Structure 1
Amino acid sequence: MRPLYLIRHPRPAGAEACCYGRLDLPLAEPASHSLPRVRARLPASFQVWSSPLRRCLELAQALDPLARQHPGLQEMDFGDWEGRAWDDIGAPALDAWAADVTGHTPPGGESARQLLLRVQAALAEVLATSQGALALVTHAGVIRALVAQALELAGPDWLRIRPAYGQVVALDWDGQALQVPAATRRELGL
């Protein structure tokens, strides 16, 4: 088994005010504030990969100044919804999304199913070009998609996966598929 640690970025500034996925929000506080808690959950040796969005990259570079980036580790693209207040998006659009969590595509964006395909391809590249334990500094949507896929959860159940800012989600790669250890299931309330 190969350890894989999915780390959600620290809280970004302005996150409560709008829909953000690809929007490159700054962190609300320096990445160094999250570093001790994150580092305590990681092994002595690991390679760091990150989404190129600065809310991830700042923590990744605090963990390892030589952290590598992969665009496939970015959050879901919400298209025309990016940067808009949830109230401005409107209940009908949000209801349509809630009715088909994995299949609905925001205008100009990507669906959660498309996100999963992109993230699977990125993870395959990262696994093929690195060795040993991996720490991926990424986003809630990416973590949600990978855990849901590993547990074979139906679309509506994806929303039960709610990693906190700065949370480390430990998985294992068995050479063919991701495995979700019992301890991780408990931490995520699954």
Structure 2
Amino acid sequence: MRIAHYSLLILAACLLWQLTGCCGQKTLPPPGRSDTAERLPAVRTASGTAATVEKPLEMLDKTGLNYSIDQVGRAAGDKKRTEAGSFFEKQYMQGVELMEKGEFADAINLFDELVKRYPNTEEASIAELCIAELYFRNKSNEMALQAYQRIVEKYPHSHAAENARAGIDYLQSFDRFADEHVSPEIEARKRRGL
């Protein structure tokens, strides 16, 4: 029985290690990068080597996001951004800071505002992925699963959908593993609230 518990913990830790980190940390390939980049020899890029984590602004540059949405005097499709950066970038970075401080509710609200401001865009898919990751980090697995599924439905070909599919697989495999390996005594204690 102890072996099953340790196996469950090891599996959870390994899968969590693969999934943790949204918003600028290395997980699945970020937007604009393919998973093959990790298998290629290190190549110098503007953000370092192919093996380094891309900074959010560089990651957004590679996706071709439309920075002109909130900039006066810019034509639609003009992807050049001002020195100060776009509103999305600033809010995104603020959300990351809130997330790192453990202020999950405030971070979720901020990312939700970004989803509303940039509906049906790559920006929205990234913000929704951050929301899903926040639910996951807060151990709200059902909410995280719903958020991941929403991303796959709304943005099926985005890089965020790739990460969301991995999140769905993880949560579903974790549930299956727990169902198969958690003893009846532990289940009974959980039901009694002990």
TM-score, normalising length: structure 1: 0.31
Q: Which structure carries more strand by proportion?
A: 1
- In the superposition, the TM-score normalised over structure 2's length comes to 0.30
Higher-helix-fraction structure: 2
* Structure of greater relative contact order (alpha carbons < 8 Å, 6+ residues apart): 1
The structure having more radius of gyration, on CA atoms, is 2
